[in-house]
Amino acid sequence: MKTLLAVLFVFLAPLCGYSERVEELLGKLTLEEKADLCHGAFLSGGVPRLGIPQLAMLDGRQGVRPLGELKGTKTTLLPCTLTLACSWDEKAAEEFGRVLAEEMLALNQHVLLAPMINLIRSPLAGRNFENFSEDPFLAAKITAAYVRGVQSKKVGACSCLVVANDCEHRRHFTSSNMDERTLRETHLLPTELSFRDAGVWTMMSGNNLLNGIHCAHNRRLLQEIVKDHIGFDGVMITDWRAAYDTVPAALAGTDMTTGVCKYVFGNGHLLAAVKSGKVPMSVLDDKVRRILRLYIRCGVLDPRSRGKGELDSPKHREAARRLGAQGIVLLKNQNNLLPLDPAKVRNVLVTGPAADIVLQGGGSGNVPSAVQVTPAQGLQSVFAVTHLPFNIPLQPRMNKGSIEWEQAARGGITRTNVVTDIATLTKSAQTSDAVIFVAAGVMASEGRDLLDMELPGGQAEAIAALAKANPKTVVVLVANGAVTLDPWLANVPALLAAHYAGQATGEALADVLTGKINPAGKLSYTFARRLDDYPCHALGEWPAKLVLDKDPVNPGMKPEERKATRAFDTEYKEGVFVGYRWFDEKKIEPHFPFGHGLSYTTFELSGLKADARRVSCVVKNTGKRAGAEVVQVYIAPPKSSLPRPPKELKGFAKIALRPGESKRVEIVLRPSAFAFFDVAAQKWKAEAGEYEIQVGCSSRDIRLRGKTTLAADRLVERY
């Protein structure tokens, strides 16, 4: 109860003062000034006559990306948010958010256009590295912690993108088609909890369409569900090209258009729509109230109330290293090959296309950091290293000068097409104490999706040859998510997934490989054996299908070129069976299940106590090293009136223990933990029956089982 009251105080106390001040300012604004607040770009709004400064926004899912006058400024490149999610650590996510907020303060910026919170539907999606998870609950919990960290410093966070903007190819023309139960239980849940659990101050509508209507024009989505039902009291902005027409966007719940969309609410168009009565004055005033509330929350009106922040500081560099290591997942460690002891492992061969570069993904999330420690550099600091370059192109073929090519060049991944001599590699491997191959997937980026799961440039053949030459071969995956591991996985004793681990990739990797840091990361997605095991591919719904006679190709940058077009459809036939839920339902064996991750120590779970409100168990470190384990709670429903997944994640906790130490961990369940979304009632419904509570260390490693019975059906207002 004390915790609930504290949360209510944080949310409600400021609003008491906000309301008075907002109404006072609203009464002083002219109609023209009100309309002017509703459009802009990275700098927007402001009312010079009243001394109200402009609102300043920047991109930055894993680091702040300076633009305009700030271009050239160096900021801290943290690990990508997929790596963060693999830490399964809410405290880490809050720290991550605070680091970003401190850098925003140092640059005098107000709103960080992050985090990205779309679900991972396919391993080919171009922005998986910027999202969190395939599971809505895990994504929601890490999202909320990230948002709390950012907003604790009076910097606004922005939940991007609302909603199901989970493919990049032709994203401006693609309709994500799903029923409302699928929307509410899965794809919208991280958006919902970013507000209900963390009070996010802004949201950004996606470029895509939802059920045939562009998200920025979708009244059912933005106004009726997000604002009216969920209660979102912040500002709904558009992505840079997400809106097209003034009146539909205004009536749908869009509050501010941005970037290329400036012409939608700007250039006198919103003003004219209000004057003509097509957009009621009450609708405009609601938008302006939200925007003024944001100005107050971010300290735009009170600059002295904001901290000074810090930029690329020693503290932030240390955080980048530690957070990078926390999110590295140890997938396989046969015969306890790892950790490698530098005192015993004298000579290490380091190779692979990601050994000489810090990969971070392309597009608007690209971060210009001052420091970048490559894997080769990090490993050279602890081992005697024989370093053999493995040069291949890491980007798909593209025309020089295209937007994609420029993004790739800014990302620093342009590589010479040199075929590596495998014979030279294997000869060196035979005389080395160990081999570390840092593999790279095709570079992921905003604006494009991947074509397949393959490692490019002959890496599979090289890994197989190295593993044959040296039985102590370690492979580190630097990629956007799951990649093909055949045919070499069986012969490689140790495998880690680092994803894009940030500016300190090399240091973080060295810390984990030597055991300075005991790996505790867990997969936030299912690592399948083949592409067709994922539901959207199994059902033939990836890529989206063309529904027009001709592909529009160019979404247009000028107002006269822009038209709201539905050219592609993708049906979410999997419904609520997203990710591991599908694998469980269809009894598909993945390479590595959702929630999987090994440690250099071992843990034992015992003493389960469970009911409908809380779950607890004793966790004991039974090994010889200090380490951390993630206790995962899944709920398996009884026979239901609707199809339900075999089990769903409903709670987790990360606990650090010394060798031999044990502690009881308690996980409080939400009232909705046993429920599905009842569309007719517009509430969450938990049906009567006996539910199994499963506790384990991955979705396929269930250690403890208990039962609890609901005597009667329950309706719950909120998730």
Chunk the chain into consecutive blocks of 10 residues (it has 719) and report each block's average pLDDT, rounded to whole numbers: 44 62 97 97 95 95 95 97 98 98 98 98 97 98 98 98 95 97 98 98 98 98 98 98 97 97 95 98 98 97 94 98 98 98 95 95 90 97 94 57 39 44 94 97 93 94 97 98 96 98 98 98 98 98 96 87 95 98 98 98 98 97 98 97 98 98 98 97 97 98 98 95
Q: DSSP state, 490?
A: G
Cβ–Cβ under 8 Å, residues 388 and 352: no
239 is an active site residue: yes
d(C-alpha 364, C-alpha 74), whole Å:
16
Question: DSSP string covering 294-335, please?
Answer: HHHHTTSS-GGGS----SS-HHHHHHHHHHHHHT-EEEEEGG
- For Cα atoms 1, 234, 565, give the angle at the middle one, nearest 5 degrees: 130
d(C-alpha 523, C-alpha 605), whole Å:
20
Give the strand order in the sheet containing 603-610: 603-610, 614-621, 662-668
If you search the block for the tokens 């369409």, which residue do you land on?
209
Instruction: Give residue 556's pLDDT.
Output: 84
Residue 394: phi and psi, rounded to 5, are -105, 0
Instruction: Give residue 394's pLDDT.
Output: 66
Instruction: Give residue 110's pLDDT.
Output: 98
Question: DSSP string covering 545-572, please?
Answer: EE-SSS------SSGGG------EEEE-
d(C-alpha 35, C-alpha 697), whole Å:
53
| Burial category of 144 from C-beta neighbours within 10 Å (exposed 0-12, middle 13-18, buried 19 and up) | buried
Instruction: Give residue 6's pLDDT.
Output: 42
Instruction: Give residue 395's pLDDT.
Output: 59
Cβ–Cβ under 8 Å, residues 473 and 435: yes
| Burial per residue of 359-393, b for 16 or more beta-carbon CB atoms within 10 angstroms, e otherwise | bbbbbbbbbbbeebbbbbbbbbebbebebbebebb
d(C-alpha 540, C-alpha 531), whole Å:
11
Cβ–Cβ under 8 Å, residues 359 and 83: no
Q: Tokens for 51?
A: 């001394």
Q: Using alpha carbons, select from 497, 477, 522, 494 the residue that is nearest to residue 628.
A: 522
d(C-alpha 83, C-alpha 123), whole Å:
15
* CATH for the 601-716 domain, from 3.40.50.300, 1.10.8.60, 3.30.420.40, 2.60.40.10: 2.60.40.10
The CATH architecture one would assign to domain 328-513 is: 3-Layer(aba) Sandwich (3.40)
Question: DSSP string covering 382-448, please?
Answer: TSEEEE-------S----TTSHHHHHHHHTT---------HHHHHHHHHTSSEEEEEEEPPPPBTTB
Domain ranges across the chain:
16-305, 328-513, 601-716
Q: Tokens for 516?
A: 């300075």
Q: Tokens for 33?
A: 């000034």
Superfamily (CATH H level) for 16-305: Glycoside hydrolase, family 3, N-terminal domain (3.20.20.300)
Q: Using alpha carbons, select from 241, 283, 280 the residue that is nearest to residue 262.
A: 241
Instruction: Give residue 187's pLDDT.
Output: 98
Q: Which of 135, 239, 312, 678 is catalytic?
A: 239
Sign (positive or negative) of CA dihedral 527, 532, 533, 535: positive
Instruction: Give residue 400's pLDDT.
Output: 39
Instruction: Give residue 397's pLDDT.
Output: 44
- 104 by DSSP, 3-state: which? helix
Q: Using alpha carbons, select from 521, 530, 443 the residue that is nearest to residue 482.
A: 530
